[in-house]
Amino acid sequence: MSGFTTASFLFKVDTRDAFNRFLDTPEDKLGWLREHGKAPQHLSVLFQAPYEAWVEGGATIDSQGGVGNYETPFFGVPSLKTLLVEAAQRFFIEKGSFESCRQDEGSFHALPEERVIEVLHERARLLRKKEEERERIRMEAEKAEKEEFEAAKHYELERLRWVGENGSERLHKALETGLLGQCDKVYREERLAKEYDGWRWMEKGADDLREIRNPSHEAMTLLEVARSEIDQDAELCWNVRAIPQDDYGAYLEDTPEKYAVIHAQILGHSALFRIR
What is the value of pTM for the model shown? Answer: 0.59
The model's pLDDT over 8-29, given as tens digits with 9 standing for 90+, comes to 667 778 888 888 888 888 898 8
Is residue 5 very low, low, confident or very high in pLDDT (cuts 50, 70, 90)?
Answer: very low
Rg of the chain in Å (alpha carbons): 34
- Across the chain, what does the average pLDDT equal? 82
The model's pLDDT over 159-193, given as tens digits with 9 standing for 90+, comes to 999 999 999 999 999 999 999 999 999 999 999 99
CA neighbours closer than 13 Å in the CB half-sphere of residue 261: 23
For residue 148, give the 3-state DSSP assignment.
helix
Amino acid letter, residue 50: P
Torsion sign (Cα): 126, 127, 128, 129: positive
Q: Burial level of 275, CB count in 10 A (0-12/13-18/19+)? A: buried
| The pLDDT of residue 80 is above 90 | no
User: Is pLDDT larger for residue 71 or for residue 172?
Assistant: 172
d(CA 90, CA 215): 61
> So where are the chain's domains?
4-131, 198-274
